[in-house]
Amino acid sequence: MILYFQKELECEPPDQRRERQSERLRQTVRRAYERVPLYRRKLSSAGLNPDDIRGIEDITKLPFTVKDDFRAEYPFGLFAEPLDNVIRLHASSGTTGKPTVVGYTRADIDLWADCCARLLACGGGTAKDVLQVAYGYGLFTGGLGLHYGGERLGATVIPMSGGNTKKQLMLMQDFGTTLLACTPSYALQIAEVAHEEGMDLRLLKLKAGFFGAEPWTEEMRRQIEMRLGLKALDIYGLSEVIGPGVAGECLEQAGLHVFEDHFYPEIIDPKTCRPVPDGTYGELVLTCLTRETIPLLRYRTRDITKMDSAPCPCGRTFRRIARLSGRTDDMLIIRGVNVFPSQIESVLMRIEHVEPNYLIVVDRTGVMADLEIKVEVNERLFSDEIRKLESLRSRIAADVYSVLGLHAKITLVEPRTLERAAGKVQRVVFVDRKA
């Protein structure tokens, strides 16, 4: 069954959509120029005024916005609306310093709810479903984003938030949850606790899961689908742009449809800043075409993906981006070799007896960085002979070497010993030289 939430927009012919995008871009650029001093400065120094932007094809003339612009304009400098009109604030934590602050007018909240309802409908969700939201509620956009989306769709929403896994399981069973929304790593944790409790999630009513907010791989998807007995769908978004609801997979599971009537995507080469052709990996750049509070222009997300403009059997005409393969700033350089954590995850998840929990430790105390991978092995193997453990360790080391061309120290650890998180999991830690 093919389900649309807003068929006339989601299946709009591309030419008609371009006209809509062009009109919206003209308006956004004008608002940004007139209301946000940073944009007036950026456009002026690029020798542009709003009349120079006549259509979506002119988007490449516009200057980029970067994370540092949010920091410099902290907290409300990028807002095109007075606080009187802003009914909600969210913020992304970031690792250092002040958070990135975003605001929403009533119309922004409305648009966000539509986009999150689309995500759910893309994954087969309807008003008949029971949606358990296990993303964190609060300043993080995951919880409230999916919550409003679920209500907009007419589903029955359980605002569970992250954590308290045993209770998650109880409600899932008692309330007949059909849709689950959380980070992929938390989905696995739910499965793990279910297993400990002797509960088989595959016997529940779970139908689809909406997983995002952190990188994951196809191999991880298979693990999740097997353990939870549902269709695992990838959803993408970021607070600077709106939160979840920027892009999501349909039941084809063949890339994430970008809701480009609201968020215009470009893929650029992060070094030259020039657009790359479809099918080539690069940095995703997003422009908000309809957002009132922050008319964000060409935001450099640092997320790496590629574009696919081929028609999708689901009928949606939104172009698709590939699963996010990492961030320009989470690439590790170890002994001169570029390493993305997702490459390591893919290798590990293909090996039998390895649990989907691992930690990458980059030790920078020596002259050259060293790579250690801590991997949880399953119960059965751990209680087995040392010989078997040793052969698993060498197998992982050999597979990592064949993919990365790099020798990594592999440490096998007991099941359930690596830290678990209810939200975004941290897969990489650094051990640094003391200052």
Instruction: Give contact residues for ligand DLL (rule: CB under 6 A).
Output: 92, 135, 140-142, 212-215, 234-239, 243-244, 301, 303, 324, 327
3-class secondary structure per residue, the chain: CCCCCCHHHHCCCHHHHHHHHHHHHHHHHHHHHHHCHHHHHHHHHCCCCHHHCCCHHHHHHCCCECHHHHHHCCCCCCCCCCHHHEEEEEEECCCCCCCEEEEEEHHHHHHHHHHHHHHHHHCCCCCCCEEEECCCCCCCHHHHHHHHHHHHHCCEEECCCCCCHHHHHHHHHHCCCCEEEECHHHHHHHHHHHHHCCCCHHHCCCCEEEEECCCCCHHHHHHHHHHHCCEEEEEEEECCCCEEEEEEECCCCCCEEECCCCEEEEEECCCCCCECCCCCCEEEEEEECCCCCCCCCCEEEEEEECEECCCCCCCCCCCEECCCCEECCCCEEECCEEECHHHHHHHHHCCCCEEEEEEEEEECCCCCCEEEEEEEECHHHHCCCHHHHHHHHHHHHHHHHHHHCCCCEEEEECCCCCCCCCCCCCCEEEECCCC
Closer residue to ligand DLL (CB): 124 or 326 = 326
* Distance of closest approach, residue 224 Cβ to ligand DLL, in angstroms: 13
* Distance of closest approach, residue 65 Cβ to ligand DLL, in angstroms: 14
* Distance of closest approach, residue 306 Cβ to ligand DLL, in angstroms: 14
* Distance of closest approach, residue 391 Cβ to ligand DLL, in angstroms: 33
Closer residue to ligand DLL (CB): 208 or 410 = 208
Closer residue to ligand DLL (CB): 144 or 191 = 144
Closer residue to ligand DLL (CB): 221 or 227 = 221
* Distance of closest approach, residue 126 Cβ to ligand DLL, in angstroms: 20
* Distance of closest approach, residue 72 Cβ to ligand DLL, in angstroms: 18
Closer residue to ligand DLL (CB): 76 or 340 = 340
Q: Which residue is nearest to ligand DLL (CB)?
A: 212
* Distance of closest approach, residue 141 Cβ to ligand DLL, in angstroms: 5
CA–CA separation, 90 and 401 (whole Å): 42
Closer residue to ligand DLL (CB): 103 or 243 = 243
Closer residue to ligand DLL (CB): 50 or 244 = 244
Closer residue to ligand DLL (CB): 92 or 173 = 92
* Distance of closest approach, residue 386 Cβ to ligand DLL, in angstroms: 37
